Amino acid sequence: MDAMHAHMSVADTSQFIRMTVTSKTSIGKRVAVVSIAVSALLALAKILIGLVGHSTAVVADGFESAGDVVASSFVLFGFAIASRPPDEDHPYGHGRYETLTGLIVGLVLLLGGVGICYRSLQNVAGIHPPPAAYGLWPLLVSMVAKALLSGIKFKYGRRIGSSALVADAWNDFVDIISAVAAATALGLTLYDPARFWAADHYGGFAVGLIVVFTGIRVAKETSERLTDTMPSSELLAEIRTVANSVAGVRSVEKCYARSTGLQYHVDLHIDVDPDMSVRDSHEIATNVRFTLREQLDWVADVLVHVEPSGMGLGGR
């Protein structure tokens, strides 16, 4: 057994977690900053062009993009806090602040969607100039930009285990759908104003509904991580496989894990030879702990409980 592993201090553990989390949060911060800049430009363009071109659907989609700026700002703030190292009051680190911002993104989407729905139907029966065809251009640009942003956020969000970044990726994916809905509604009004005069308003309302349902989904998924919902069976199987590969481990009796933001903390019960010494069983447990952390970068730390194999003590 490596003596360095056996005598690694709490400070060393904190440093290990800090280095891993810092690397992940730096990626998240860069993606969030780019997202804020792109969303701000799209929101400004759509709101101004929508107002000048008298298109309720384009203005509604512009406000939806403005909500993206707020959401991505929360994500950036969450990454800034999550990068702090563990301390006496937060021994598991500050990663859950990042997950909490994912929940806030969901709530922002929900409230923003309700507001868009209300505003879109305010003047549905009113008399106003017909919308201008150039209102389609910012919507088309938005579809392309958000498709790129969504793909980037899904890729890096899943790579670093960020629920906030994945939530923001869903937010961008919704932007594509909402832009399609807005463009379709505006197109119908332009095609036949007499028959589809109100289509532009109802298109804005459809955008709002899409945003509301996405907000509910995002809030539900992030809430599950905040309430210690177990990770997927695939991740648990990875933990068991790596633990079982360590010399001296006869089997993994129990395996629990909970999200602490960008990583997971794991509780393991392993079975070992009942006749070995306490020292030897402790070394096996320590080896399991560090092998998991070295091979699975999404594991922050592991608490290993040793049980004598074949003694029927697994339920204790």
d(C-alpha 132, C-alpha 87), whole Å: 57
What residues does 304 pair with on adjacent strands? 268
Q: What is the pLDDT of residue 264?
A: 86
Return left, alpha or beta for 161; rule: phi > 0 is left, psi -120 to 50 is alpha, else beta.
Answer: left
Q: What is the pLDDT of residue 16?
A: 47
Rg (CA), the chain: 25
pLDDT score for 123: 63
Domains recognised in the chain with CATH numbers: 3-226 (1.20.1510.10), 233-308 (3.30.70.1350)
Which pLDDT score, from 0 to 100, does residue 93 have?
76
What are the structure tokens assigned to 121, written together?
């139907």
Q: What is the 3-state secondary structure (H, E, C) of 13-65?
A: HHHHHHHHHHHHHHHHHHHHHHHHHHHHHHHHHHHHHHHHCCCHHHHHHHHHH
- Which pLDDT does position 126 carry in this prediction? 56
What's the CA gap between 57 and 77, in Å, rounded? 31
Q: Name the residue with tokens 């068991």.
A: 240
Per-residue pLDDT of the chain (316 residues; tens, 9 = 90+): 444 444 444 445 445 444 455 667 777 778 888 888 988 998 899 899 888 887 877 887 788 788 778 777 877 787 778 777 777 888 777 778 877 887 888 888 888 788 878 877 776 665 556 778 888 888 899 899 989 989 998 888 888 777 778 878 887 887 888 788 778 877 887 888 777 767 767 777 877 887 788 788 878 878 887 777 788 888 899 999 999 999 999 999 899 998 877 778 899 999 999 999 999 999 999 999 999 998 988 888 899 999 998 765 444 4
- Give the pLDDT confidence score for residue 207 in this predicted structure: 74
